[in-house]
Homo-oligomer: A and B are copies of this chain.
Amino acid sequence: MHPKLQVTDFERPLTTVDLVIFSVRDDELTVLLVQRTSQPGEPFPGKWALPGGFIDTARDRDLEACARRKLMEKTGVEAPYLEQLGSFGGATRDPRGWSVTHVYFALMASDDITPRPGGNAPESRWFGVRGESVRESLAFDHAEILRTALARLRSKVEYTSLPAFLLPGEFTLTQLQKIYEVILGRALEKKAFRTRVLAAQILEPLSRKLSGPNRPAQLYRLRRRRHAHIFSRPFGSADDPG
């Protein structure tokens, strides 16, 4: 052990921020991926990866600000829900050296988002989630990160109001229930679902209704934006959701 350690005594790992951005499109859970460039020196050329990149210590005040900046760059909108998923670091995940990525987890309504095309920006696309991952093989350890994010999403959906952030500002109870069912991959009982959600008082009924070729449905919006409610019991009948 050195008696005096200087800051420069340790090699600093490469540090990035990546995003797992989920949305539900056409009754399917999707995640936004970007294609890596084929520039010389860039690892995993042409592979699909989570959007993200290096921290800009001159512009980014802190990690979350960096995540918000990248989110805005990729989608052009503020996410109604953003939380930290965790960090993934090690010697082998990036061929350029010991690296760490800070991963944030975002939920968006599908009509909010038009993946930024254009210019010399990398191509980005929504990929349907099938089971534990997407069909494509991903760059770096992003498949593992995506698995972790999916586990977190599905676990939280069991007992929180998170799915509401995957819907536009106004929605019906049937639409909300459908989102739960898509993510959980199983049907929920209508009466029990409605009783719980309404009892939680997280929704505010609007004066408008959604018309169609049938009985019009009451429209609601979230009472508190950006805040997830924790239900005292998980959805579904199963005990031991973890």
Contact across chains for B234 and A241 when beta carbons are under 8 A apart: no
Copies of this chain, whole number: 2
By beta carbon, the residue of chain B nearest A103 is B87
Tell whether, in the assembled complex, residue A100 and residue B63 are in contact, meaning their CB atoms are under 8 Å apart.
yes
Whether A12 contacts B14 by the Cβ 8 Å rule is yes
In the complex, A159 Cα to B191 Cα: how many Å? Answer: 25
Provide the A32-50 mask, 1 if CB < 8 A to any CB of B, else 0: 0000000101000000000
Q: List 10 A-B contacts (CB under 8 A).
A: A4-B39, A4-B41, A61-B90, A62-B90, A63-B87, A63-B90, A87-B87, A100-B102, A230-B241, A232-B239
- In angstroms, how far is the closest chain B Cβ from the Cβ of A239? 5
Chain A positions near chain B (C-beta within 8 angstroms): 1, 3-7, 9-15, 39, 41, 54-58, 60-63, 84, 86-91, 96-98, 100, 102, 120, 160, 200, 228-230, 232-234, 239-242
Q: Is A98 a contact of B55 with CB atoms below 8 Å?
A: yes
Tell which of B87, B228, B242 touches A242, judged by Cβ atoms closer than 8 Å.
Answer: B228
A190 shortest CB reach to chain B, Å: 21
Residues on the B chain within 8 Å of A89, using CB: 55, 62-63, 102
Partner of A234, one of B10, B41, B232: B232
**Residues on B with beta carbons closer than 8 Å to the beta carbon of A6:** 41
Given A4-B39, A61-B91, A91-B61, A10 and B54 contact (CB-CB distance below 8 Å) = yes
Contact yes or no, A10 B56, CB < 8 A: yes
A57 and B7 within 8 A (CB): no
**A9 neighbours in B (Cβ, 8 Å):** 54
Q: Is the CB of A55 within 8 A of B241?
A: no
Chain B min CB distance to A232 (Å): 5
Given contact pairs A1-B120, A62-B90, A232-B233, A100 touches B242 in the complex (Cβ within 8 A): no
